[in-house]
Each structure stands twice: as C-alpha cells, then as structure tokens.
Amino acid sequence: MTNQIKRAEIDAPRLPSKKDHPAGKCLMSRRKMLFSSGLATATVMVSVNAGAAAAKVPAMVTTYPRKKIGSLSALKVDQPLGFKYPDEGAYAQSMLVKLGTEAGGGIGPHRDVVAFNYFCTHQGGDLSGTYKGDTKSLGACPLHLSTYDLTRHGILISGQAYQSLPQVLLELQGDDIYAVGVFGLIFGRYDNLQG
C-alpha cells in the first residue's frame, strides 16, 4: 500500500503561558493538565492519498472512561478509598482521599479531594497502605523508599524515583466523584489506556 498520511488536521493544544501560572502558584486546571499532558483525545481527521484521490478519514479515537469512584459526603479526612482506573488491568489500583488541606488538582469546596495511582514510578513498588495523614504523602515505597507529596500533584519528596506519581483527574457532579483521566504515565504501561 502506498497510502500516506500527510498530516493530522487538529488544532495543537495551547501550551500553558505565564498568565496561567502566577508566581508561586500552580493554577493549572484539570482540563489544561489533560491537554498539556498530551492525553486529551479527540476525533482526528487525516488526509490520505489514495492514488489520485484524496480523502479525509477519521483516525483513532481513544478516550478515558468517566467512572464514578465515590461520594464527597462519604469521605473522611485521611481515610483513603481504593478503586481501579482507567480499567481493571495491571497497575490500575488507585486511591481517593480527602486530605483536609487544599491540594493541586483537588476538588470539592475545600479543593482537598485528590486521587492517585498506587504504583511507584521508579520500579513499580506497591504504595497501598502507605498513606501518611500528617504529611499528606504516599510512601515510603517498600522497595527503595520513594515518598510522594499528594498536595502538589504527587511530586517526589525523597527516594529513588524521578517522576511524580500519576494523578487521577477528578470531576464533581453533585455529590458524586468521577475519575475522568490520568496525568502522568502509569508504571508498567507504555500507554495509560493499554492495560
């Protein structure tokens, strides 16, 4: 076949500018996080040369599921709730927690409800059961002691890892909490949506 994809006709996502990030503050919205992470998906029309004829055909469309994972009123501060996202496959175990303090990407009236994948980005250590309410952190990882700050998008506090913990993006609808995406690559996957 000599078909050749010439170019994808899709608007490039707007990169965050300084206006999005006033000094010292992280105000990136969940939607901007999705776009800047390259994980937003859309219907993409591509131009294809098929001999003399040129046609536009839809390319692959892949989206994160919208999954209800809890209720705001049922959450208690520092008591994590487990769930799986974005699927039931390997390394999908994640945690939803009300930190009791405002956090990056947090939802709810106090912006203190966040969710993260449970697997260390270094070599996949299982962080289940390592939540610390006094420091709002996950860790230390049982393998090489990495610890992650859940108030700051899962950034590394200490240890061997060099990537932040993947943050599950949340939306609130009434009292229902939905997982709608993942910011960062889940350990053990080359694509978060290929479990």
Which of 33, 141, 169, 186 lies at the binding interface for ligand FES (CB under 6 A)?
A: 141
**What number of CA atoms fall less than 13 Å from residue 68's CA on the CB side?**
7
Count of residues that bind ligand FES according to CB under 6 A: 13
Lay out the site mask for ligand FES across 38-77 (x = CB under 6 A, - = otherwise): ----------------------------------------
Q: Give me the residues paired with residue 56 across strands.
A: 47
**Would residue 153 show up in a list of annotated catalytic residues for this protein?**
no
Determine phi and psi for 114, rounding to 5 degrees: -135, 170
- Does residue number 138 form part of the binding site for ligand FES (CB under 6 A)? no
As measured in angstroms, the least distance from the Cβ of 148 to ligand FES is: 10
Four-CA torsion 13, 172, 153, 180, nearest 10 degrees: -50
**Would residue 122 show up in a list of annotated catalytic residues for this protein?**
yes
> How far apart, in whole angstroms, are the C-alpha atoms of residue 65 and residue 82?
17
In the bound state with ligand FES, the residue whose beta carbon lies nearer, of 106 and 159, is 159
In the bound state with ligand FES, the residue whose beta carbon lies nearer, of 106 and 125, is 125
Of residues 90 through 129, those in contact with ligand FES by CB under 6 A are 120, 122-125
> How far apart, in whole angstroms, are the C-alpha atoms of residue 150 and residue 38?
22
Residues 6+ apart with CB under 8 A from 57: 45, 46, 48
Binding region for ligand FES (CB under 6 A): 120, 122-125, 141, 143-146, 159-161
Active site residues: 122, 144
